[in-house]
Amino acid sequence: MLGTLLTSVGLILSSQVQSVWQLFISFSLITGFGVSMVFSNTVAFIGITCDENISIANGVVSAGTAVGLIAFPFLINVLRSMYGWRGSLLLLGACVLHATVISVVIFKDPKTTERKTIYLEDEKFIEVRADDDEKKEIIEEEKGTKELLKEYLKLPLTYPLFGFMLIIANLFYVSFIGTAYHLVSHAVDIGISEHNAALLMTIFGIGNLVSRLFNGVPIKFNLITSSKLFSLTLLTASVCTFLIPFCTRYASLAGNILIIGWSVGGSLPLIYLISREIVGVRNFHKAMGVLLFSTAPSGVVGGFFTGWIYDVSGSYDTAFFAMGSLFFVAFLFQVLPRIYLK
């Protein structure tokens, strides 16, 4: 609820800025902080509350981001043409505010009903509802900040595969962001019109959405394990990123971007699903915190890193080769430790 409110407020404030530093505060800090709160808590909530259909639920929730990739570029262009960039940001903030209203409506009133969770074992738990009329004592161990911080930091050591997942996730974010941020510029650089180049992001979003919605289905019906599917998506992302410089025609580039969208869209929810399988339900919220905290800098570095390679080499081709290599290294970190442990 707080995250959606901060996102809305940040967008509305951004519509009134008069300088770049004000935009940095309103959009980069307030809006960015709000978006991070919404996404992380949503995924963590699903990981804790769902068990039997976790692979499908995780994909459906993650698909919300892909929907935004498709819908918002069109919405922003329409609003900007009608009301200018200030008016478009103001109206976008109003749209996001609906999420806050919905959150207020769907959550229970804490004054009348208190909900607490007792974990029985990993992947299985019961929920106890303590009403005023029914006094049920639930003993929970209180831990200080230092003890909790130690538990967070111990996760990669307690679960070695989760330690490798942290490496994979950071490599993935650098590669994904580095590729996506400079895709449109690369398309314009090879002679594609700005309109068609921008449309590539929508094509990417379509592949992303389809993959997030349906990547959990084969896992649910035991057609493939989550680890094997994750390895496949990383390898596909690596190969297709390598192929971007060779796609000189729009049709081939669009088809390749569609596949990259599918592979990246499938990889993201699988990072959370596999982490849950590694650390268990009890520690999943901690794993989410560690994952998102560690990958936040990678998301920032990816765009700068690709831009730096372009500045040094004078070609986006070199940058895409580098991003494809990082995807492949992530694939190796996913596959080799599991082969060794077997």
The answer, yes or no, to whether residue 25 has pLDDT greater than 50, is: yes
Mean model confidence pLDDT for the chain:
84
Query: Hey, what are 86's tokens?
Result: 């200030």
pLDDT of residue 65: 72
Q: How confident is the model at residue 13 (pLDDT cuts 50, 70, 90)?
A: very high
Domains of the chain: 2-106 (no CATH), 145-341 (1.20.1250.20)
pLDDT of residue 108: 53
Q: How confident is the model at residue 194 (pLDDT cuts 50, 70, 90)?
A: confident
Report the predicted TM-score, pTM, of the whole model to 2 decimal places. Answer: 0.76
**Which range, 54-63, 193-202, 225-234, 291-300, has the best average confidence (pLDDT)?**
225-234
pLDDT of residue 111: 45
Q: What is each CA distance from 138 to 111, 113, 167, 222, 284, in whole angstroms?
A: 18, 15, 38, 37, 21
**Higher-confidence residue: 47 or 60?**
60
pLDDT of residue 107: 61
The answer, yes or no, to whether residue 328 has pLDDT greater than 90, is: yes
60-69, 188-197, 314-323: least confidently modelled range: 60-69
CA distance 333 to 340: 11
CB of 263 closer than 8 Å to CB of 233: yes
pLDDT in tens, 95-117: 999 988 888 876 654 444 444 44
CB of 177 closer than 8 Å to CB of 323: no
CA distance 153 to 212: 29
Range 131-160 average pLDDT: 65
The answer, yes or no, to whether residue 161 has pLDDT greater than 70, is: yes
125-139, 173-187, 282-296: least confidently modelled range: 125-139
The answer, yes or no, to whether residue 126 has pLDDT greater than 80, is: no
pLDDT in tens, 206-264: 898 888 888 888 888 889 999 999 999 999 999 999 999 999 899 999 999 999 999 99
